Amino acid sequence: MPYNQSMSLISEIFEQPERIKGLLSSQRKYVEKIAAEIKKRDIQYVFLAARGTSDNAGRYANYLLGALNGLPLALATPSLFTYYKQPPKLRSALVIGISQSGKSPDIVSVLEEGRRQGCSTLAITNDPASPLAGASDFVLDVQAGPEKAVAATKTYTSELAAVAMLSVALNGKQKQWDELSKVAGWMKEALKQNDFIAGAVQRYRYIDQTVVLGRGFNYATAFEWALKMKELTYIIAEPYSSADFAHGPIAMVESGYPVFAVAVKGKVFGSMLQMLHRLREDISAELVVISNDKKALSLAQVPLTIPADVPEWLSPLVSILPAQLFAYHLTRAKGYNTESPRSIRKVTETR
């Protein structure tokens, strides 16, 4: 399918490897400085505020900081800070706000309250001059560059990379820095499927609903893939953990029902593979699967691959790229505008 590479969404999708490479080279020392300061304080847990795509980066942080750093993470309920005026006690918390624009008043309010309660505050944002940055002790600029497309792509992976850098800096393990340095190369490999995906989406141009499954680190990927489908294609796309999905929602799947899944090698892979077998063999569902394992890919009508050696903890930075391409090309196949989705704007300032 021909398309104009200068169009902002597709060009921003393809920008991501270089943006991640640049972020790692330019911000590592600063992230290590932030980590050193955090270690000096009695941080018992992380309290994180975000909305939309950035909230999905927070879901990744929930797994990563727990698994690699032993830090419990609570996702904030900003309405407690704005409408209810009843913020929880945040003693011993590192309060993090993630926002590409840094302008949403409800996210800013969480950081302001964290600071008022004497907590350490960190902004992860694409705008270091934003109100969110102004409310923070530390500001981690994700350096994604201007993002013109309404649907966020490169700011999402830059936020994921920033979270990963913080986790590794807190750990101090060189092996993990070495693995992080390979992400840009893995991303480039994943993007090579662009032409295949452009053709494969034609199979789904008339669908109006789907479910998106993921678990563990890629629980975040399931949510982000579903969000892109909703924003761009207007499909009802519901994200689930494969475990939650088995507790009832699987009942809505019948023969031919489209199910999208992210099943990457790692701790939760066996659980995901079991679910894919059930969907394909017992129900005859229609499967689109992102994976780096041949067994999972063999069950899919549309297999989308990521490099085999991507470690599970970094896989969300790579697995989301085929999902972004899928949403982009399906939007075009349905005849919708990839640059101006209806009813939404680039910056949403919720209170």
200, 317: one domain = yes
What element of type H or E holds 214?
A: strand 209-214
Q: What is the DSSP string of 247-277?
A: TTGGGG--TT-EEEEEE-SSTTHHHHHHHHH
Phi/psi at 16 (5° precision) = -60, -40
Q: Say how many C-beta atoms besides its own lie within 10 A of residue 155's C-beta.
A: 25
Q: Residue 1 pLDDT more than 60?
A: no
pLDDT of residue 2: 41
Averaged confidence pLDDT in the chain: 95
Asked whether residue 173 falls in the same domain as residue 198, the answer is no
For residue 154, report the phi and psi dihedrals to the nearest 5 degrees.
Answer: -70, -30
Domain termination residue (choose one: 181, 215, 235): 181
Alpha-carbon distance of 185 to 49, in angstroms, equals: 31
CA angle 207, 209, 210 (to 5 degrees): 105
Does 169 share its domain with 99? yes
Distance CA(32)–CA(234), nearest Å, equals: 41
The answer to whether position 343 is within a domain reads no
Calculate helix-pair angle for 154-171, 315-333, nearest 10 degrees.
170
Q: Enter the pTM of the model.
A: 0.95
Whether the CB-CB separation of 119 and 95 falls below 8 Å is answered with: yes
Same domain, 176 and 227: no
Are residues 154 and 43 part of one domain? yes
**209-221 burial: b if 16+ Cβ within 10 Å, else e:** ebbbbbbbbbbbb
Residue 66 domain flag:
yes
| DSSP structural state of residue 92 | T
- Are 256 and 315 contained in the same domain? yes
Asked if residue 93 lies in contact with residue 118, where contact means CB atoms within 8 angstroms, the answer is no
CATH number for the domain spanning 104: value is: 3.40.50.10490
For residue 224 the two structure tokens come to 């982000």
| 349 confidence band (pLDDT: 50, 70, 90) | low
Q: What percent of the chain has pLDDT above 90? A: 94
The verdict on residue 175 lying in a domain is yes
Across the range 277-299, mean pLDDT stands at 98
The C-alpha atoms of residue 245 and residue 171 are separated, in whole angstroms, by: 33
3-class secondary-structure state, position 120: strand
Which tens digits make up the pLDDT trace of 8-24?
999 999 999 999 999 99
Final residue before a domain boundary, out of 157, 181, 205: 181
What mean pLDDT do residues 129-154 have? 95
CA distance 161 to 24: 8
The pLDDT tens digits of the residues spanning 79-133 come to 999 999 999 999 999 999 999 999 999 999 999 999 999 999 999 999 999 999 9
Together in a domain, 14 and 119: yes
The values of phi and psi at residue 125, to 5°, are -150, 160
Q: How many CB atoms lie under 10 A from the CB of residue 194?
A: 18
Stretch 173-201: mean pLDDT: 98
DSSP helix/strand/coil, 126 = coil
Pairing verdict, β 209-214 and 236-241 = parallel
Can you give the residue range of the structural domain that contains 255? 189-333
Asked whether residue 3 carries a pLDDT value surpassing 50, the answer given is no
- Per DSSP, 40 falls in state T
